[in-house]
């Protein structure tokens, strides 16, 4: 049973006389643990209709490039194979999602979609609701606690949010059982999912290539989850912030592309009841869903002006402070700074499509310190993050960058450039970690893979 608070009828009309129930797969690129799909199947059973799944590849998706589209395509292939075993077709369209999905909706009795949180997702859903002539329902399955149930306002910090969401989590951990479609689907005008890789090379930014370390898809997501539980979870609390140790789950790209449900991740970790469970779930639930809260309630989540007022004031007050070093956007993108730790962060990002979480904080703090203004720093940090990170353009990315400029944090003792925004420096890295080991690991990546785009 899917909790009613997960279900939102955007266009509430009497059910039409369509040929099928259409599931528009937008943010949950998976077959298992997919509540939107489960809801579509449940409705289809009551109406004795088949379910058809469609994904629309939008080549103009904001800031997406070949790295992101390749990972997406791998996820679509994985989901399509699994869906076919359940007698659920997955067809593809390419172009404007509103136009393409509304075309398929003409023969649908009901349209169901999953819930993404960015302004792009909201605009697509709202536009489709205006275009379609049948009922249109959104099912929230990419947050453990539905965003409005967790809080009805933008939260100040993880501390305030943790108190609200903690007691709700146990009531939202049920995963739907996988089911098959009850009826044979009709022929649908679309591109077979197996042809997805032919759709991602035309009209798409190819200046950033695929990651050599991360492949998309449900199977790969589950493999990484099991490795994390078996080999890393017990030492996660003591080593998760140390970039010289590989104890992270590496699930963020898979959560971003919807290749695995956060409920599945939480349920599997809870089954262990071992050391590290609490720390991991705090990151997966509190921190991740605080980020969702941020992008949902703050319309300026991707803008410098979305920061809290105290941060804007202190950064403005120190905007003209003398910087010991200043770098251009090109110099930063090419890791051409005086600082080997920062250069290692940027090179890891460019090569692999992922950066250690603690180092990403340091990375963004130094961009603030080394650019001409805080506004320029904020914009550049987002551009680089969204261009190279597989989990860029995600609530957690937007909240993570904003945190480095004061969001979800508190004022600290005042200092040049940063004002009252929390400061980080290289000496702190060297004191806390075997940071030279991290640099050596990145140098090994450079030797093995090279640095894309650099001669």
Q: What is the per-residue pLDDT across 70-79, written as a single tens digit (0 to 9) for each?
A: 999 999 999 9
**Does residue 115 carry a pLDDT above 70?**
yes
In 3D space, the residue among 300, 435, 421, 436 whose CA is nearest the CA of residue 369 turns out to be: 421
Dist. CA 188–CA 231, nearest whole Å: 45
> What is the tens place of the pLDDT at every residue in 174-232?
888 888 887 888 888 899 999 999 888 888 999 999 999 999 999 999 999 999 999 99
Q: What pLDDT band is residue 455 in, cutting at 50, 70 and 90? A: low
* Percent of the residues in the chain that have a pLDDT greater than 70, as a whole number: 99
Tokens 């992922």 identify what position? 354
- Domains defined for the chain, CATH in brackets: 1-142 (3.40.50.620), 218-297 (1.25.40.80), 304-449 (1.10.579.10)
Q: Tokens for 366, please give them.
A: 């130094």
Angle CA 222–125–137, to nearest 5? 75
Confidence category of residue 102, pLDDT binned at 50, 70, 90: very high
| pLDDT exceeds cutoff 70 at 429 | yes
| Interval 262-275 mean pLDDT | 93
Q: What is the pLDDT of residue 11?
A: 78
Q: How far apart are CA 250 and CA 390, in angstroms?
A: 11
Smallest Cα–Cα separation from 367: which of 313, 391, 331? 331
Percentage of the chain surpassing pLDDT 90? 90
Say what the alpha-carbon torsion angle 205, 209, 215, 221 is, to the nearest 10 degrees.
-60
- Residue 15's pLDDT band (boundaries 50, 70, 90)? low
pLDDT tens, position by position, 301-354: 999 999 999 999 999 999 999 999 999 999 999 999 999 999 999 999 999 999
| Per-residue CA distances from 333 to 64, 76, 244, 290, 346 (Å) | 17, 30, 23, 29, 7
3-state helix, strand, coil in the chain (%, to 5): 50, 10, 40
**In 58-216, beta strands by DSSP E:** 90-94, 108-114, 136-139, 191-192
pLDDT score for 14: 66
Average pLDDT, the chain: 95
Q: Which residues pair with 8 in a beta bridge?
A: 138
How far from 417 is each of 83, 298, 384, 396, CA to CA, in Å?
53, 26, 21, 25
Confidence of residue 16 (pLDDT cuts 50, 70, 90): low
Distances in Å between the alpha carbon of 150 and those of 36, 60, 75, 288?
A: 20, 33, 29, 12
- Which residues, at least 6 apart from 327, have a Cβ–Cβ distance to it below 8 Å? 336, 337, 370, 371
Structure tokens at 315: 């950064």
Residues 6 or more apart whose Cβ sits within 8 Å of residue 401: 364, 378, 381, 382, 385
- In the 8-state DSSP scheme, what is residue 187? P
pLDDT digits (tens, 9 = 90+) for 153-176: 999 999 999 999 999 999 999 888
Tell the residue number behind the tokens 């199977």, with chain if given.
219
Tokens 């077959």 belong to residue? 31
Q: Are 27 and 258 in contact (CB under 8 A)?
A: yes
Q: What is the pTM of this model?
A: 0.96
What's residue 136's pLDDT? 95
């Amino acid at each position: 049973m899917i909790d009613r608070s997960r279900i939102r009828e955007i266009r509430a009309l009497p059910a039409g006389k369509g040929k099928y129930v259409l599931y528009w797969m937008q943010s949950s690129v998976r077959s298992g643990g997919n509540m939107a799909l489960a809801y579509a199947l449940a409705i289809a059973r009551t109406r004795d209709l088949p379910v058809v799944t469609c994904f629309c590849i939008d080549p103009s998706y904001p800031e997406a490039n070949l790295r992101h589209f390749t990972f997406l395509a791998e996820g679509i292939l994985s989901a399509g194979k699994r869906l076919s075993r359940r007698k659920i077709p997955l067809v593809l369209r390419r172009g404007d999602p509103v136009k393409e999905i509304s075309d398929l909706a003409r023969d649908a009795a009901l349209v169901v979609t999953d819930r993404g949180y960015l302004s792009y997702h909201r605009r697509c859903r709202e536009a489709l609701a205006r275009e379609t002539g049948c009922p249109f329902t959104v099912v929230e399955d990419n947050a453990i606690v539905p965003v409005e149930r967790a809080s009805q306002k933008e939260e100040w910090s993880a501390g305030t949010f943790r108190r609200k969401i903690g007691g709700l989590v146990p009531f939202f951990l049920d995963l739907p059982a996988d089911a098959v479609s009850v009826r044979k689907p009709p022929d649908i005008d679309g591109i077979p999912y197996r042809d997805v890789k032919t759709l991602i090379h035309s009209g798409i930014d190819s200046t950033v290539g695929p990651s050599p370390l991360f492949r998309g898809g449900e199977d790969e997501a589950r493999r990484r989850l099991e490795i994390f539980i078996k080999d890393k979870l017990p030492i996660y609390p003591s080593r998760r912030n140390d970039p010289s140790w590989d104890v992270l789950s590496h699930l963020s790209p898979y959560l971003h592309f919807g290749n695995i449900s956060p409920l599945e991740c939480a349920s599997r970790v809870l089954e262990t009841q071992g050391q590290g469970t609490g720390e991991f779930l705090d990151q997966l639930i509190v921190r991740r869903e605080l980020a969702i809260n941020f992008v949902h309630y703050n319309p300026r989540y991707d803008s410098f002006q979305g920061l809290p007022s105290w941060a804007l004031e202190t950064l403005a007050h120190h905007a003209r402070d003398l910087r010991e070093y200043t770098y251009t956007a090109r110099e930063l993108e090419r890791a051409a700074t005086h600082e080997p730790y920062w250069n290692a962060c940027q090179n890891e990002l460019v090569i692999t499509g992922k950066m250690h979480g603690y180092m990403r904080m340091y990375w963004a703090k130094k961009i603030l310190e080394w650019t001409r203004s805080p506004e320029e720093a904020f914009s550049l940090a987002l551009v680089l993050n969204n261009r190279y990170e597989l989990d860029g353009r995600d609530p957690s990315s937007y909240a993570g960058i904003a945190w480095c400029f004061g969001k979800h944090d508190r004022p600290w003792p005042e200092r040049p450039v940063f004002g009252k925004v929390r400061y980080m420096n290289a000496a702190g890295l060297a004191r806390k970690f075997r940071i030279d080991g991290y640099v050596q690991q990145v140098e090994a990546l450079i030797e093995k893979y090279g640095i894309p785009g650099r001669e």
